[in-house]
Chains A and B, each alone.
Chain A
Amino acid sequence: MASILPIGPPAPRPVEMQAHAMDNLRYIRRTIEQAGSFTAVPGIGGVYMGATALAAAWISAKRPGSAWPLAVWLLEACVALTIGIAGAALKSRRADAPLFSGPGRKFVAGFAPPMVAGVLLTAVLFRAGAVAFLPGTWLLLYGASVLSGGAASVRVVPLMGVCFMAAGAAALVAPSWGPAMLAAGFGGLHVVFGLVIAVKYGG
């Protein structure tokens, strides 16, 4: 007896509705992650970062021209980083959104490279005895970090980055103003923009 073979390819098995639904939900989530902006930049946290920077400026001014200011500001950088991360985590928890979703990852990807460059340049400038250029370098690179990371955030964040870069440029042009620019930048700008972010975009 002759066997009958199908001429065309076998019909594909229909996709289950559940798979469609899961796929659609994944698509919505992905689109929202890509389209959203990083809104967890801390406002109140920024104010605290500014306050600790003003305290650091006051403490470091007690023994200028030695390794003391560098130690104080490095400690302040660690404190400010902790406050910043904690503030962002609290803010994103309040908004019931994961901190390191798409926009969060984009923020970190933009923020981290200039910060790493800042750490390396700090070591190089300190070893070369060019500590007078450290304030300008820190402000400039922190500004670059905020500017590039802030591209994935609300508009006021990149603007803050530009202000930090301007402060850094001024401190590099006039290194004797360095300590004052550190206080005005890490202290004043953080307080001012922190308040703006807190009022306009919430804590």
Chain B
Amino acid sequence: MAAKGAERREREKAAQPELAGTPMAGVAQQLDRLVHERLRLGILSALSVNESLTFTELKKLLDTTDGNLSVHARKLEEAGYIGCAKGFSGRVPRTDYRLTAAGRRALDRYLDHMEALIQAMREK
């Protein structure tokens, strides 16, 4: 397990060879890993332009599976980035997700980091 983690860290390090010792290295390290994952980024982005979205709507929009979506949504929920309300629509269970203030701040911060990375690379 530890070996796997070290291997992953090595891979990440190898993917950013040009960053070492540059201002971008700092920016890259500040990236919120929770938001950086593609599906979680999609969930936050979709919720940022909607008051709320159901589990089914998110699944269709992000073209993913039930299991994948619920795992990533739970991680965001645990971090307090999204809120979740479970209920029923008639007899059908319904899960509504909405973006919290912390989630919006995290997404804004992430966008700022991405822009900073691009800007720093252009200035290089």
What chain A residues lie within 8 Å of B46 (beta carbons)?
A: 31-32, 34-35
What chain A residues lie within 8 Å of B89 (beta carbons)?
A: none
- Interface 0/1 of B36-66, CB less than 8 Å to A: 1010011001111110010000000110000
Residue of chain A at shortest CB distance from B117: A21
Interface of B is mostly: helix
- Interface 0/1 of B15-35, CB less than 8 Å to A: 111110000100010000000
Stretch at the interface among A22-30, A80-88, A167-175: A22-30
Does the CB pair A24–B28 fall under 8 Å?
Answer: no
Does the CB pair A14–B14 fall under 8 Å?
Answer: yes
Measured CB to CB, the closest approach of chain A to B112, in angstroms, equals: 11
Residues of A in contact (CB 8 Å), total: 18
Partner of A27, one of B28, B42, B53: B42
Interface of A is mostly: helix
Residues of B in contact (CB 8 Å), total: 27
What chain B residues lie within 8 Å of A21 (beta carbons)?
A: 114-115, 117-118, 121
Pair count A-B, CB < 8 A: 62
What chain A residues lie within 8 Å of B101 (beta carbons)?
A: none
**CB of A96 within 8 A of chain B?**
no
**Alpha-carbon separation in the docked complex, A32 to B48 (Å):** 8
Partner of A25, one of B16, B19, B38, B114: B114
Residue of chain A at shortest CB distance from B120: A18
Contacts known (A17-B24, A17-B121, A31-B42); A36 close to B16, Cβ less than 8 A = no
Measured CB to CB, the closest approach of chain B to A153, in angstroms, equals: 13
**Alpha-carbon separation in the docked complex, A14 to B50 (Å):** 36
Does the CB pair A24–B53 fall under 8 Å?
Answer: no
What chain B residues lie within 8 Å of A32 (beta carbons)?
A: 45-46, 48-49
Does the CB pair B61–A14 fall under 8 Å?
Answer: no
Does the CB pair A27–B41 fall under 8 Å?
Answer: yes
**Which residues of A (1-23) have their CB < 8 Å from a CB of B?**
14-18, 20-22
What chain A residues lie within 8 Å of B114 (beta carbons)?
A: 21, 24-25
Given A20-B117, A35-B46, 13 more A-B residue pairs with CB atoms under 8 Å apart are: A17-B16, A21-B117, A24-B38, A24-B41, A25-B114, A25-B115, A25-B118, A27-B38, A27-B41, A32-B49, A35-B49, A35-B61, A37-B49
9 A-B pairs in the complex with CB atoms less than 8 angstroms apart? A14-B17, A16-B121, A20-B117, A21-B114, A24-B36, A28-B41, A31-B46, A32-B45, A37-B50
Task: Give residues in A with beta carbon < 8 Å to B.
Answer: 14-18, 20-22, 24-25, 27-28, 31-32, 34-37
